[in-house]
Structures are given as C-alpha cells and as structure tokens.
Structure 1
Amino acid sequence: MIQKILIFLLLLGVRPIPFAWGKRVDTVISETNEIRAHLLFKQLRCVVCQNQSLYDSHAEIAVDLRNLVRKQIQYGKSNKQILSFLVSRYGEFILLKPVFGLHTMILWSSPFGVLVLGSICTWYYWFKKSDHTTPELSHEEERTVNKILDKLD
C-alpha cells in the first residue's frame, strides 16, 4: 500500500523531502584554516555548475571538492600546492581565472583583437566611404533637372 502511495505521489510530481536521504555536509576545520579554505573556494570553479565558484555551489561534487581542499590544508599543503594538485586532477578548467600562457593567448588577446578590428572597420566605413565623389550628370539629365526646377518656380 505504501509503495502505491509513493508511486502515486511521484506521478503527481511530489518529491520526498531531501533531508530524508541524509545530505552530506562539509567537514569542519580551525577558523584560520577555514578562512584560507574560503579564499581557495572563491578561486576554484565547480565542475558541475561551471560558472559558479566552489564557495557558491551546492552541488555534491562541490561539497567533495571543498572537503578535499580542507584535507589538503590539514595536511599542511600550501595554496599553490593545492591549486596545482587540483589542476593536475581536473585540468585548468577548475580555475575561475585562467592562467596566462601560450595555450591561452587567444583567450587573453581576443578583446584587443576585436577592438583593433572594430577600429579598422569604423575608420574604413567613415573615411573611405566619403572619398567617393558623386557621378557627373549627362547633358540630357541636366536638361531634365533644369526643366523640373523651372516648372517648380
């Protein structure tokens, strides 16, 4: 009978309360280490949410990554060591601010390239377009225009 009620509720779109499954929570460390961990969380991207930092994300993988960072801090690793460990494990995608290097040169230089290209296009549009002179009227067209102007007066 309970199974039928649960199936009926699921078909209606009613979901069980999430805390009933025992949601995982972050581990607790000392206050100074926690501040250091929060600074690292703000530098790292959640691999599920993609545009959220670990600090802002509530995904389960974010909880795991936060716990991993806290454990690394407890083991006495420096911030640089923790970041390099996570980059080696998840790639540079995990960093919210990409590193400046040869492989990211296009990413960093594209705003300047767009600005230069836009300036060239604007210059060409405004200055080259005005260089064109209007074509001369033929004698017949000039007579026609003069007749029209005479009729208007």
Structure 2
Amino acid sequence: PDYFINFAANSFVGCSWDMAHNHMQTNCMAVLHQLEAIRRHHPKCRYYNAGSSEEFGDVIVAPQSEEHPLRPRSPYGASKCAARHLVKVYRDSYNLYAVQGWLFNHEGVRRGEEFVTRKITKHVARIFMQLQRRAEVTPLQLGNLDSKR
C-alpha cells in the first residue's frame, strides 16, 4: 500500500487497569508488527499512527506540543507512549515515513455506551420515542459527575 493509517486500539482507559497486557499487545506490539512489515516489504509506504492525549497524562502547560513531556497515568496511556517511541525509532533508524498524531476527545456512532456522551444521546433518543408513544418519560441516570482522571 502507499498509505497505512492505524486507528486500531483498545481505547477504554478504565479497562486498561484490568487488561494491561492486552492493551500493550494491541496498542504497542501491533504497531511494532506494522512498522516491521512496512520496513521489510514496502519501505516507501507512508505510515500514520493515531496517538492519544492520554500520553501526556498530567499536563504541565496547555495546549500540548510535541515537546511536552509524556506522563501517562494509565496502562492505556503507557501503551500509546510506547507506540509513539516505536514510530520515532523506525522513522529515524530506517528512514521510513512514519508519523504520529494525537487525538483528543472525539465522538462518533461507534463510541461505546459506557461513555457519558453516548449515555446522554441514547437517552435523548429514548425520551423522544417515549414522547411519541405518550409514555412516561424515564429519568436519565448518570454516575459520579465529579469523577476525574
């Protein structure tokens, strides 16, 4: 291929504490295998790896830049940091076109229902359907709104 764009990841930070090995395999080792395949079979391929704001962890300044120190606070963040370093090592060592970008909060139709934005939007749709049927509207139940990472 001319381009390889890697968005694949285990991305739920909370699960990374119970499944650290799995997160490292998926988020880091897979990147190693991808880069190695590109190096061996198609070194002209342009590679992009999706990083995460979780790599920065406890931020010192905002907004962050590529020079901002990495201070991950979870196995997920650490796995994405390791992948970041692999991308740089392969770029520098093998002269590959390999880059990484950092994604911050984003939403989409495949966002898991364990995330608050999906809980809210799903409940809004439920309320709409209840109003259409003139049924009793059920209240939205959310967890700890003061939660922090």
TM-score, length-scaled by structure 1: 0.25
Structure with higher helix content? 1
| Higher RCO (CA 8 Å, separation ≥ 6 residues) | 2
Whichever of the two has the greater Rg, that structure is 1
The alignment's TM-score, normalised by the length of structure 2, stands at 0.25
